[in-house]
Amino acid sequence: MDRTLTAARQAAPTPVPQPVPDAFWTLPADALLHALEARPDGLSTAEADERLRRFGPNLAVTTTRSSLPAKLAKRIVEPLIAILLIAAAISGATGDWQSFLIIVAIVFGSIGLDIAQERQAEKTVEALKRSVAVTASVRRDGRVAELRVEEIVPGDVIELHAGELVPADGLLLSGQGVLANEAILTGEPYSVEKRPGTATGEALSDASNALFGGTSLVGGEAVMLVTETGRNSRFGAISTSLQEREPPTAFERGVHSLGMLILRLTGFLVLFVLLTQMIQHGLSLESFLFAVALAVGLTPELLPMVMTVTLARGAARMAARKVVVKRLSAIHDFGAMDVLCTDKTGTLTEARIAHVGSFGPDGSDSPRVTELIRLNSRFVSGLHSNLDDAILADPAPAVPQACSRIDDVPFDFERRRASVLLSRGAMTEIVTKGAPEALLALCTEVEQADGTTAPLDDAERARIAGWMDQQGRQGLRLLGVARRAMPAACRTISAADEAGLVFVGCAAFMDPPKASATEAVARLVKAGVRVKIISGDAAPVVQHLVETLRLPTRGLLAGEAIATLTDAALAERVEETDLFVRIAPDQKGRIVRALRLRGHTVGFIGDGINDAPAIHAADVGLSVDGGTDVAREAADIILLAPDLGVLADGVEEGRRTYANIMKYVRMGTSSNFGNMLSMALASLVLPFLPLAPFQVLLNNLIYDVSEIGIPFDTADPEMLSQPHRWDMHEVLRFTLIMGPLSSLFDIATFMILLYGFGAQVEMFRTAWFVESIATQILVIFIIRTAKPAWTSRAHPVLVATSLGGLAVALLLALTPLGHFIGFVALPAPLLATIVAIVVLYLVAAEMLKRIAMRQVGPARRRGRTRRAP
């Protein structure tokens, strides 16, 4: 008969399952079975095969890897990298092999490091795979078969047991004592009780009748109807979001903008020189090589090296503070961060359940409650909950030797309580613990503070119920305790004896807040970082935590409201909102992207798989050492110490690295632009080129090498007090002020050399080389700080490299070694004149830098809305 039934099913037209709502748990089981064209005894093999072809395999986690050539090509087309490679090619073509090798080594070293870091996203997905079930017990063809998870399709009926992973999303058709661990999706440490039926709310926390892929059963047995598989499941959505390409981070946008700025300046100078040379002298090979040398001279060859060394120095300093940096550029993004989004559990709280107090019926502290609940947890048989573990872990007096267990009725999900019959000296009594509202309904008396009892009337019952509801709204999980005296001869009890109880009070449990959170948040706020809390908990719970930690917050937005908002509308709301409650995992990523759309540099810290998409979406993703593998792999930075104060330390370190990188950027663009502009202008009036092409490249090489000490430099306190970001308008303003200033002194030098000393070609080039390299190198001590130069001391390494580079340049120009490069000895009066010009230039630079380095206010910068990618 079974074969006939199976054959008939296979011969019949294959039913087509209908789409089910996203909140499928709000539908009755019969309606879902009908929509999915499914049956409680499962699908046939033919039906499952057809659905497998339609919906694809149940693979929530898939990997899409780019090939090495594709990764390499993506980076080579970046403007800054492309400019550097073109400069290297030109250097090699003109015989400057040293510059060629240096530039190529630096560029490909930087690219190699970047590609190695891209493996991070692939490792994240691999870690996610380890959280997925391999096989499951599926009802097929009227029997239960052990199938690979990939073969599960919508409409399948699965049998699950305690300790197994849930392979897909589905509705609970039947179950006994089903307890699920959903921390993977919600981040909450409490296990969740599941019951068949129909849920009313559409939030994930309301799905008391549903199970989700990637979660696990920690108790009971269940029969589940599969509704969503693969990438359509909640777990699959997390996997998909982790592989999406997010908009460039603050650091990546800054480097791209700098590359475009240098490209424009280079194009302007090269075209200007070629045009003027062609008009005056015709386009000769020497003028072409001179224009090419200008292009190479304007290129900051050492910028990738300076950035890498600066960031590596920051990473080493952060490692000493127990912070692991996985992506070097994240240190810069950390410093640029002006909004930090944090999950509640595991970041602001300890991510563990702790017994925080016991209260009598009047709300006062009650050691009596602690004593009775501890006795129950100690002696009752059956499965211990995490609340039992918390109460037993709490330091308390040892169990009296006169106390012994006689019998018990273990916990079950129908009664939601557990009772134990104890002999305590001459007294025999039942001690019952359980869900406080259900336990209160079984009580007829209430125990007073002095140990006497009083009748439990309706008014008192209502008052106690209101108090318990208030505690629950503050994030406390309550466990009630009651007692009942029994005859001394009683040796067995049953559930029927759990009546006529005396209500003693409640023990309170919670995920305790971290002691370091208040100070850490205060330091971040002082540093200009706004802290926003994103939680799956209800509003009263989050507000209570905020009040406990005394965190400065404004505005509140619930996940239900976010679900109705477009991305543009959400971007408007997030600006003035600091508390986000009842948030689904996918909404965390939406909030982060909305903040980035508003122009903020966003950090996100979390420790669960449910946090991984938001960690991935942020400019800088953070996790903690105790977080899940997936969260740690998705993060750019991992905190090894539980002290959140290292966040503020990391912000300070990020701003220090930014300050040092910007020293090189400002100096490189302004000095190179001024130098090249001077040579371009000089080429208009001089009958010869102001420097030979090789001398231009030598000037640039010595200058760059002299500044390799910048990564070791310190930063002014003002640079550490507020977030900063790459602003090419500020860099361009600095370049257009300080560059022409150096050109002005260069032109004055030209005039003095030509008309004051009548310098010929070799003397002219030597004198101008000395003046040019001296002003370029020494000005770093002026522009490295916005304060007066004499009030801010440079790091000894920077002093050594800068003055060492200057010494090498003077040695090559003013000694017989310079003969091989085209230099000649200079008379003493000319050297004294050059020294005077350099001093006057440094004084003028000190005066003008206050205008050139004027910052746009942080509020104005953050108010700019970035166009959606």
780 membership: H or E segment, kind and range: helix 780-783
Report CA-CA distances (Å) from 71 to 119, 331, 625, 809. Answer: 11, 23, 30, 40
544 membership: H or E segment, kind and range: helix 539-549
Neighbours of 33 (CB within 10 A): 18
Distance CA 627, CA 387 (A): 22
Tokens of 210: 């549903």
Tokens of 107: 């560029």
Torsion of CA 190, 196, 202, 207, to 10 degrees: 20
- Structural contact between residues 770 and 806, judged by C-beta atoms closer than 8 angstroms: no
Q: Which long-range contacts (CB under 8 A, 24 or more apart) does 845-850 make?
A: 845/738, 845/741, 845/779, 845/782, 845/783, 846/782, 846/788, 846/789, 848/737, 848/738, 848/741, 849/738, 849/782, 849/783, 849/786, 850/786
The one catalytic residue among 343, 611, 649, 713: 343
Report CA-CA distances (Å) from 846 to 441, 664, 787. Answer: 81, 17, 9
Tokens of 868: 């959606």
Neighbours of 252 (CB within 10 A): 17
Angle between helices 645-685 and 761-778 (to 10 degrees): 160
Rg (CA), the chain: 36
Give catalytic status of residue 343 as yes or no: yes
Torsion of CA 18, 23, 24, 26, to 10 degrees: -130
Alpha-carbon torsion 313, 315, 320, 321, what sign?
A: positive
| DSSP one-letter string for 154-222 | TT-EEEEETTPBP-SEEEEEEEEEEEEE-HHHH--SS-EEE-SS-----SGGG-TTEE-TT-EEEEEEE
| N residues, the chain | 869
| DSSP one-letter string for 204-246 | GGG-TTEE-TT-EEEEEEEEEEEEE-GGGSHHHHHHHHHHSPP
Distance CA 856, CA 585 (A): 36
- Structural contact between residues 269 and 262, judged by C-beta atoms closer than 8 angstroms: no
Nearest to 735 by CA among 658, 849, 858: 849
Nearest to 262 by CA among 510, 79, 464: 79
Instruction: Give SS3 for 24.
Output: helix
CA 237, chain centre distance (Å): 18
The b-or-e profile of 797-817 (16+ CB within 10 A means b, else e) is ebeebbeebbeebbebbbeee
Return phi, psi of residue 447, to 5°.
-85, 130
Pairing relationship of beta strands 323-325 and 637-639 according to DSSP bridges: antiparallel
Location of structure tokens 């072809």: 53
Angle at 305 between CA 301 and CA 308, to 5 degrees: 145
Angle between helices 728-751 and 761-778 (to 10 degrees): 140
Q: What residues are labeled active site?
A: 343
